[in-house]
Amino acid sequence: MLVDSHCHLNDLDLYPLADTLLEEAQASGVCTVLVPGYDRASSLRAIALAERFTDVYAAVGFHPQDAEQVTERDYDDLAMWCRHEKVVAIGEIGLDYHYDHVPRDVQQQVFSQQIALAKRMNKPVIIHDREAHHDVLETLRATDAAAIGGVLHCFSGSVEMMREAIDLNFYIGLGGPVTFKNAKKPVEVACAVPAERLLVETDAPWLAPVPHRGKTNKPSYVRLIAEHIANLRSITLEELGTQTTANARALFGLGTR
Protein backbone atom coordinates (compact mmCIF):
# COMPACT_ATOMS: atom_id res chain seq x y z
CA MET A 1 0.00 0.00 0.00
CA LEU A 2 1.16 3.50 -0.86
CA VAL A 3 0.68 6.98 0.57
CA ASP A 4 0.43 9.95 -1.79
CA SER A 5 2.09 12.40 0.55
CA HIS A 6 1.29 15.51 -1.51
CA CYS A 7 -1.83 15.67 -3.66
CA HIS A 8 -3.92 18.75 -4.39
CA LEU A 9 -7.36 17.20 -4.46
CA ASN A 10 -8.33 20.67 -3.23
CA ASP A 11 -7.47 22.13 -6.63
CA LEU A 12 -10.65 23.39 -8.25
CA ASP A 13 -10.22 21.05 -11.23
CA LEU A 14 -9.89 17.94 -9.01
CA TYR A 15 -12.14 18.83 -6.09
CA PRO A 16 -15.43 17.91 -7.81
CA LEU A 17 -13.90 14.58 -8.89
CA ALA A 18 -12.61 13.53 -5.49
CA ASP A 19 -14.84 10.44 -5.13
CA THR A 20 -13.78 8.99 -8.48
CA LEU A 21 -10.11 9.89 -8.09
CA LEU A 22 -9.91 8.30 -4.64
CA GLU A 23 -11.63 5.13 -5.89
CA GLU A 24 -9.06 4.90 -8.70
CA ALA A 25 -6.26 5.51 -6.23
CA GLN A 26 -7.46 2.78 -3.91
CA ALA A 27 -7.64 0.36 -6.84
CA SER A 28 -4.00 1.21 -7.60
CA GLY A 29 -2.92 0.41 -4.05
CA VAL A 30 -2.99 3.91 -2.58
CA CYS A 31 -4.23 3.70 0.99
CA THR A 32 -3.88 7.33 2.11
CA VAL A 33 -3.73 10.78 0.53
CA LEU A 34 -2.42 13.96 2.15
CA VAL A 35 -3.90 17.19 0.77
CA PRO A 36 -1.88 20.37 1.44
CA GLY A 37 -3.37 23.86 1.35
CA TYR A 38 -1.66 26.83 -0.25
CA ASP A 39 -4.04 29.66 0.66
CA ARG A 40 -7.15 30.20 2.78
CA ALA A 41 -9.68 28.66 0.37
CA SER A 42 -7.55 25.62 -0.51
CA SER A 43 -6.75 24.96 3.15
CA LEU A 44 -10.46 24.94 3.97
CA ARG A 45 -11.13 22.60 1.05
CA ALA A 46 -8.36 20.31 2.30
CA ILE A 47 -10.06 20.13 5.70
CA ALA A 48 -13.43 19.48 4.08
CA LEU A 49 -11.96 16.55 2.12
CA ALA A 50 -10.34 15.14 5.27
CA GLU A 51 -13.68 15.33 7.07
CA ARG A 52 -15.42 13.58 4.20
CA PHE A 53 -12.99 10.73 3.52
CA THR A 54 -11.48 8.47 6.18
CA ASP A 55 -8.16 8.01 4.38
CA VAL A 56 -7.62 11.66 3.47
CA TYR A 57 -5.65 14.02 5.72
CA ALA A 58 -5.09 17.76 5.43
CA ALA A 59 -2.28 20.26 5.75
CA VAL A 60 -2.90 24.00 5.93
CA GLY A 61 -0.72 26.95 5.02
CA PHE A 62 0.12 29.88 2.78
CA HIS A 63 2.24 29.47 -0.35
CA PRO A 64 5.11 31.93 -0.91
CA GLN A 65 3.42 33.30 -4.03
CA ASP A 66 0.60 34.52 -1.75
CA ALA A 67 2.89 35.88 0.96
CA GLU A 68 2.01 39.55 0.40
CA GLN A 69 -1.65 38.86 1.18
CA VAL A 70 -1.08 37.04 4.50
CA THR A 71 -2.51 38.93 7.50
CA GLU A 72 -2.52 38.49 11.27
CA ARG A 73 -6.01 37.04 10.97
CA ASP A 74 -4.59 34.39 8.65
CA TYR A 75 -2.04 33.34 11.27
CA ASP A 76 -4.78 33.18 13.89
CA ASP A 77 -6.92 31.02 11.63
CA LEU A 78 -3.95 28.83 10.75
CA ALA A 79 -3.51 28.08 14.44
CA MET A 80 -7.23 27.32 14.74
CA TRP A 81 -7.16 24.97 11.73
CA CYS A 82 -4.19 23.12 13.23
CA ARG A 83 -6.37 22.04 16.13
CA HIS A 84 -8.53 19.98 13.77
CA GLU A 85 -7.96 16.28 14.42
CA LYS A 86 -7.15 15.53 10.77
CA VAL A 87 -4.82 18.45 10.10
CA VAL A 88 -1.40 16.82 10.31
CA ALA A 89 1.01 19.52 9.06
CA ILE A 90 1.49 23.14 8.08
CA GLY A 91 2.09 23.51 4.37
CA GLU A 92 2.76 23.98 1.76
CA ILE A 93 4.99 26.86 2.78
CA GLY A 94 8.41 27.98 1.65
CA LEU A 95 10.18 30.10 -0.94
CA ASP A 96 9.66 30.47 -4.69
CA TYR A 97 12.18 32.56 -6.63
CA HIS A 98 11.18 31.39 -10.11
CA TYR A 99 8.96 34.36 -11.00
CA ASP A 100 10.01 36.83 -8.28
CA HIS A 101 6.46 38.24 -8.21
CA VAL A 102 6.66 38.52 -4.41
CA PRO A 103 9.63 40.28 -2.76
CA ARG A 104 12.01 37.71 -1.31
CA ASP A 105 12.16 39.36 2.10
CA VAL A 106 8.36 39.14 2.35
CA GLN A 107 8.43 35.46 1.39
CA GLN A 108 11.12 34.79 3.97
CA GLN A 109 9.21 36.59 6.72
CA VAL A 110 5.97 34.67 6.08
CA PHE A 111 7.90 31.40 5.76
CA SER A 112 9.64 31.97 9.09
CA GLN A 113 6.43 32.96 10.87
CA GLN A 114 4.65 29.84 9.67
CA ILE A 115 7.53 27.68 10.90
CA ALA A 116 7.33 29.43 14.27
CA LEU A 117 3.60 28.70 14.38
CA ALA A 118 4.20 25.07 13.42
CA LYS A 119 6.59 24.76 16.35
CA ARG A 120 3.99 26.21 18.71
CA MET A 121 1.35 23.81 17.37
CA ASN A 122 3.80 20.86 17.24
CA LYS A 123 3.15 20.16 13.55
CA PRO A 124 5.69 19.17 10.89
CA VAL A 125 6.02 21.42 7.85
CA ILE A 126 5.68 20.74 4.13
CA ILE A 127 8.22 22.83 2.22
CA HIS A 128 7.87 24.33 -1.25
CA ASP A 129 11.31 25.18 -2.66
CA ARG A 130 11.62 26.51 -6.18
CA GLU A 131 15.01 27.90 -7.17
CA ALA A 132 15.61 28.92 -3.54
CA HIS A 133 17.69 26.02 -2.21
CA HIS A 134 20.22 28.05 -0.21
CA ASP A 135 17.69 30.35 1.44
CA VAL A 136 15.33 27.48 2.27
CA LEU A 137 18.07 25.63 4.14
CA GLU A 138 19.23 28.82 5.84
CA THR A 139 15.68 29.56 7.01
CA LEU A 140 15.26 26.03 8.33
CA ARG A 141 18.47 26.43 10.30
CA ALA A 142 17.67 29.93 11.58
CA THR A 143 14.21 28.91 12.80
CA ASP A 144 15.35 25.59 14.31
CA ALA A 145 12.82 23.80 12.13
CA ALA A 146 14.58 20.54 13.02
CA ALA A 147 12.56 20.62 16.25
CA ILE A 148 9.45 19.65 14.28
CA GLY A 149 10.87 18.35 11.01
CA GLY A 150 8.92 17.91 7.82
CA VAL A 151 9.39 17.20 4.14
CA LEU A 152 10.94 19.04 1.21
CA HIS A 153 8.25 18.18 -1.29
CA CYS A 154 8.92 17.66 -5.00
CA PHE A 155 12.60 17.77 -4.14
CA SER A 156 14.73 19.29 -6.92
CA GLY A 157 18.06 19.76 -5.14
CA SER A 158 21.29 17.82 -5.28
CA VAL A 159 22.39 14.79 -3.29
CA GLU A 160 24.47 17.14 -1.15
CA MET A 161 21.43 19.29 -0.37
CA MET A 162 19.41 16.16 0.36
CA ARG A 163 21.96 15.16 3.00
CA GLU A 164 21.84 18.64 4.55
CA ALA A 165 18.05 18.45 4.69
CA ILE A 166 18.12 15.06 6.38
CA ASP A 167 20.57 16.43 8.93
CA LEU A 168 17.90 19.04 9.68
CA ASN A 169 15.34 16.27 10.41
CA PHE A 170 13.59 16.48 7.03
CA TYR A 171 12.24 13.87 4.67
CA ILE A 172 12.61 13.98 0.89
CA GLY A 173 9.48 13.88 -1.29
CA LEU A 174 9.89 12.64 -4.86
CA GLY A 175 7.24 12.81 -7.56
CA GLY A 176 6.73 12.74 -11.30
CA PRO A 177 9.98 14.50 -12.34
CA VAL A 178 12.00 11.46 -11.24
CA THR A 179 10.42 9.60 -14.19
CA PHE A 180 11.23 12.24 -16.81
CA LYS A 181 13.65 11.32 -19.58
CA ASN A 182 15.94 14.26 -18.83
CA ALA A 183 15.89 13.75 -15.06
CA LYS A 184 19.35 13.76 -13.52
CA LYS A 185 19.34 15.18 -10.00
CA PRO A 186 16.03 13.52 -9.01
CA VAL A 187 17.34 10.16 -10.16
CA GLU A 188 20.59 10.63 -8.26
CA VAL A 189 18.64 11.58 -5.14
CA ALA A 190 16.23 8.64 -5.57
CA CYS A 191 19.17 6.26 -5.56
CA ALA A 192 21.01 7.90 -2.66
CA VAL A 193 18.32 8.95 -0.18
CA PRO A 194 18.19 6.72 2.92
CA ALA A 195 15.12 4.49 2.77
CA GLU A 196 13.82 5.77 6.10
CA ARG A 197 13.74 9.37 4.78
CA LEU A 198 11.91 8.89 1.47
CA LEU A 199 8.32 9.86 0.66
CA VAL A 200 6.46 9.50 -2.64
CA GLU A 201 3.97 12.01 -3.98
CA THR A 202 2.12 13.14 -7.09
CA ASP A 203 1.65 16.90 -6.57
CA ALA A 204 -1.52 16.30 -8.60
CA PRO A 205 -2.88 17.86 -10.75
CA TRP A 206 0.62 18.92 -11.84
CA LEU A 207 3.81 17.06 -12.83
CA ALA A 208 2.22 13.83 -14.04
CA PRO A 209 4.77 11.02 -14.40
CA VAL A 210 5.73 9.28 -17.63
CA PRO A 211 3.78 8.04 -19.62
CA HIS A 212 1.24 10.74 -18.70
CA ARG A 213 3.63 13.69 -18.72
CA GLY A 214 1.88 16.89 -19.74
CA LYS A 215 -1.54 15.59 -18.77
CA THR A 216 -3.54 16.02 -15.58
CA ASN A 217 -1.91 14.18 -12.70
CA LYS A 218 -3.97 12.19 -10.20
CA PRO A 219 -3.32 10.26 -6.97
CA SER A 220 -3.43 6.80 -8.59
CA TYR A 221 -0.28 7.75 -10.52
CA VAL A 222 1.79 7.63 -7.33
CA ARG A 223 2.10 3.92 -8.09
CA LEU A 224 3.97 4.73 -11.33
CA ILE A 225 6.34 6.97 -9.41
CA ALA A 226 6.90 4.34 -6.73
CA GLU A 227 7.52 1.63 -9.34
CA HIS A 228 10.11 3.80 -11.06
CA ILE A 229 11.94 4.59 -7.82
CA ALA A 230 11.84 0.93 -6.79
CA ASN A 231 13.48 0.00 -10.10
CA LEU A 232 16.15 2.65 -9.60
CA ARG A 233 16.89 1.28 -6.13
CA SER A 234 16.74 -2.37 -7.27
CA ILE A 235 14.03 -3.28 -4.77
CA THR A 236 10.44 -4.44 -5.15
CA LEU A 237 7.45 -2.14 -5.24
CA GLU A 238 6.21 -3.88 -2.09
CA GLU A 239 9.42 -3.05 -0.23
CA LEU A 240 9.33 0.57 -1.33
CA GLY A 241 5.63 0.86 -0.51
CA THR A 242 6.07 -0.60 2.96
CA GLN A 243 8.95 1.74 3.77
CA THR A 244 7.48 4.96 2.38
CA THR A 245 4.11 4.29 3.99
CA ALA A 246 5.83 3.76 7.34
CA ASN A 247 7.76 6.99 6.79
CA ALA A 248 4.59 9.01 6.06
CA ARG A 249 2.90 7.57 9.12
CA ALA A 250 5.90 8.37 11.28
CA LEU A 251 6.17 11.97 10.07
CA PHE A 252 2.48 12.89 9.96
CA GLY A 253 0.94 10.47 12.47
CA LEU A 254 -1.37 9.07 9.81
CA GLY A 255 -3.78 6.45 11.04
CA THR A 256 -3.59 7.70 14.62
CA ARG A 257 -6.20 10.45 14.23
Parse the chain into domains and list their residue ranges.
2-252
| 49, pLDDT greater than 80 | yes
Average pLDDT of the residues in 102-107 = 97
128 in a known ligand binding site:
yes
pLDDT tens string 224-254: 999 999 999 999 999 999 999 999 999 999 8
Q: Is 164 annotated as a binding residue?
A: no
pLDDT score recorded for residue 100: 85
Tell me the pLDDT tens digit for each residue of 108-160.
999 999 999 999 999 999 999 999 999 999 999 999 999 999 999 999 999 99
SS (H, E, C) the chain: CEEECCCCCCCCCCHHHHHHHHHHHHHCCEEEEEEECCCHHHHHHHHHHHHHCCCEEEEECCCHHHHHHCCHHHHHHHHHHHCCCCEEEEEEEEEECCCCCCCHHHHHHHHHHHHHHHHHHCCCEEEEEECCHHHHHHHHHHCCHHHCCEEECCCCCCHHHHHHHHHCCEEEEECHHHHCCCCCHHHHHHHHCCHHHEEECCCCCCCCCCCCCCCCCCHHHHHHHHHHHHHHHCCCHHHHHHHHHHHHHHHHCCCCC
pLDDT, residue 257, reads: 52
- Band (pLDDT 50/70/90 cuts) for residue 103 is very high
Work out the mean pLDDT of the chain and round it to a whole number: 97
101 labeled part of a ligand binding site: no
- Per-residue model confidence (pLDDT) at position 105: 97
Q: What amino acid is encoded at 51 in this protein? A: E
Q: Does domain 2-252 have CATH number 3.20.20.140?
A: yes
Q: For the residues 162-176, what does the mean pLDDT come to?
A: 98
For residue 31, pLDDT over 90 is answered with: yes
68 annotated to bind ligand: no
pLDDT of 38 above 90:
yes
Check pLDDT > 80 for residue 255. Answer: no
Which pLDDT score is estimated for 33? 98
State yes or no: pLDDT of 21 exceeds 60. yes
At residue 256, the pLDDT reads 56
